[in-house]
Amino acid sequence: MTRKIPLLAFGFGMALASAQAFAHGNHNHGPALTDIERQASEGIFADKNVQDRALSDWEGVWQSVNPYLLNGDLDPVLEQKAKKPGGKSVEEYRAYYKKGYATDVEQIGIENDVIEFHVGDVVNSCKYRYSGYKILHYASGKKGVRYLFECQQGNANAPKFVQFSDHIIGPRKSQHFHIFMGNESQEALLKEMDNWPTYYPYALHKEQIVDEMLHH
């Protein structure tokens, strides 16, 4: 049943506690990346190094970066990308990310295998079960991993199938992620390459998100 509740009621106390660290500039990226993890973050890895992950790797409160793109806050990121050799123009990147980031899910909360999806004042939630991972081979020659989850018990408006992609290939707390959501099948979602709603920690200010995008 769709219901209206305060923002991320199930875990917002936890989220606010962690928010204090973010707000004071103590954004923790966890243990230093190994060489394998660093290469994997760039889309280069051996299939044998991919490991299963629990939904707890994405636990927390997250915000869509789509509004920041639409109001121009991410322009410094687009401008940096446009300066790279062979890069697109700023406006071409803007169109690319406008399609990629597009979503009406403004915030996502994850705790105890439950995912809450916030669209305006409406919250849809479901308890999800891990369904394994899929390794994708991109046209660029790089690879990616999608971690698949399926809704087990929740309201009818929460997506039945969810996939996470965050440039990580083994157990590790996510720093940001792309999410794919749908009701048809996992196979249908695996074909989606153009729309990848992207989320950063809810506690980060827009300046911190821009800094993350520019330097990580």
CB half-sphere exposure, 93, CA atoms < 13 A? 18
β-strand partners of 141? none
The helix (H) or strand (E) run that includes residue 38 is helix 35-41
Distances (CA, A) of 212 to 36, 117, 207: 21, 24, 9
- Residues 105-123 have a mean pLDDT of 96
Does 178 score more than 90 pLDDT? yes
pLDDT value of position 133: 98
Does 216 score more than 90 pLDDT? no
The string of pLDDT tens digits covering residues 31-51 is 888 999 999 999 999 999 999
Compute the mean pLDDT over every residue in the chain, rounded to the nearest whole number. Answer: 88
Quick one: pLDDT band at residue 27, thresholds 50, 70, 90? Answer: low
Q: What angle do helix axes 75-82 and 90-101 make, rounded to 10 degrees?
A: 130
pLDDT value of position 7: 47
Does 87 score more than 90 pLDDT? no
Considering the entire predicted model, what is its pTM? Answer: 0.87
Question: Tell me, what amino acid is at 63?
Answer: Q
pLDDT value of position 30: 78
- Residues 17-37 have a mean pLDDT of 62
Does 19 score more than 80 pLDDT? no
pLDDT value of position 20: 36
- Residues 46-61 have a mean pLDDT of 98
Dihedral of the CA atoms 37, 22, 111, 120 (nearest 10)?
A: -120
What are the structural domains, with CATH classification, of the chain? 12-215 (2.40.128.20)
